[in-house]
Amino acid sequence: MTERKVAVTGTGMITPLGLDTEQTWAGVIAGRSGVSAITKFDASEMPTQIAAEVRGFEPTNFFSKKYIRQMDPFIQYAVAASYMALEDAGMLEDKPPAERTGVYVGSGLGGINTIERTHLSLREKGWRRGISPYFVPALIINLAGGQISIFHGFKGPLMSHVSACSTSAHSIGEAYLAIKYGRADVMVAGGTESTITALSLGGFAAARALSKRNDEPTKASRPFTASRDGFVMGEGCGLVILEDMERAKARGANIIAELVGYAANSDAHHVTAPSPTGEGAQVCMRLALEDAGVSADAVGYINAHGTSTAADAVETHAIRQVFGAHADKLQVSSTKSMLGHLLGSAGSVEGALCCLALARGVLPPTINLDDPDPACDLDYIPHEARRLEVEYALSNSFGFGGTNACLLFKRAP
C-alpha cells in the first residue's frame, strides 16, 4: 500500500488565552499567563484556588438554547472549535466528501460539569425531576466527536480516544494514520476539556498534584524551575484539520505544516508518575523520529510536556538521552507555563502551536523561568518568544497510567 503524506490545513482553538486560534497564538507569543483566581465555583476552602479558565465563551453565538441543553461545555467547545478549524481550512462552505471525512476527538474527563450538576439536582428533586433526558448524551466523551459529525454531516471514521494527558495527541496521531493508509481523506482531530469544577479540582488537589501559589496565579505554572510546586489545571479545546497532501495541493489549500511522524507507547510503571529514567518517553520520541525517517539532529524545536512538576526533570533527561549532543542546540519550551495544563486537550493545542511556530518562524517561550532547576538544563526559550525558523518540531504528551504520545511536524514548503 502506498503511504500518503498528511497536511495540516486548519486549526481551531478555545483556550484560557483566547476564544480562537489567533487570540491564543497572540497570547502565547506575548508570554501572557491565562492563570487567575477561580471564578466558576467557590474554591475558598480548597488548598488550590487558581486555574486557567476559559472566559467569555458564549454558547449562544454557536447554538440555539435547545442544543445547549444537550451538550456539556466540553462538547460545546469542541463543536465551536470545529467551525473555526473548518473555516481556517477553507472547508466550512465547501465541505469535503462526507464518507471520506472522519472525526477523532477525545477528552480526559468528559462531562464532569454535567455529572456534578445532575447529582445535586438528583439529591434535591429526585430522579423524575432531577435528571434530564439529555444527561447521558451531554456527558459521554464520544459525543464531542459525535456532535461534530452530526453538525457537519461527516460520515467517515468516528472515534474518541481517552488517554489522560495524551488524549488529543493520540487523537491526532491516529487520525494521521487513517489518512496515511487511505481510510479517510480528511480528519477533524484533537481534544476538548471543561474541567474547572469542585470535584475535578478537589481530586487533583487531594492527590497533591496542583500548585498552591494562590497569591501569585500568573507565576504558578513554572515548568523547569527549582521552585515549581505542581501543575495548574486548565481547560479548552484544540482541533486540527488533517488532509491528504495531494488533495490539499490540488484544491490550493493553505498548508500550515506537514505531520510526518507519530508514536505511542506505555511506561508500564505507575498510575501517575513517569518511569524515573524517562524510558517510555525516550522510546516514544525515538519511534516518532523513526516513523518520519528523520534524524534527531534535524529537529529544531520541542514543545515539551513540561507540567511544572517533578516530571520536568525526567523529560529533560529523556530528551538528552534521545538527542545526545544535539540537545544543547535544541529550542525547547512549555506552553503550559501560560495555558496551564489542559489535560485531555493539551496535546492538540500544543501540536497546533507547533504547526503555527513552524509556519510563522516564531517559537513560544517558557515564562516564569526565574530560577532554573539544575536538573533541567536545556534551552527553554526563557521569558520571551524567539524568532527562528526550524524545519521540524516535536510535541510531547505523557499521561497518567504511563501513556505516551509524540507528534513530529515538518515546516510546509
Identity of the residue numbered 92: L
Identity of the residue numbered 310: A
Give the side-chain half-sphere CA count within 13 A for 129: 4
CA-based angle 259:261:266, to the nearest 5?
A: 130
* Catalytic residue (choose from 165, 237, 284, 376): 165
Q: Is 344 helix (H, G, I), strand (E, B) or coil?
A: helix
Dihedral angle at the C-alpha atoms of 308, 388, 255, 180, nearest 10 degrees? -60
CB-CB contact of 211 with 231 (8 Å): yes
Identity of the residue numbered 49: Q
User: Would you call 354 a catalytic residue per the annotation?
Assistant: no
What is the grid cell recorded at 243?
488532509
d(CA 128, CA 130): 6
Q: Tell which residue, 188, 244, 255, 291, has the closest CA to residue 5.
A: 244
Residues with Cβ within 8 Å of 316's Cβ and at least 6 positions away in sequence, in order, are 224, 375, 376, 377, 378
CB-CB contact of 256 with 248 (8 Å): no
CB-CB contact of 372 with 224 (8 Å): yes
**With helix as H, strand as E and coil as C, how does 211-270 read?**
CCCCCCHHHHCCCCECCCCCECEECEEEEEEEEEHHHHHHCCCCCCEEEEEEEEEECCCC
Q: Which residues are catalytic?
A: 165
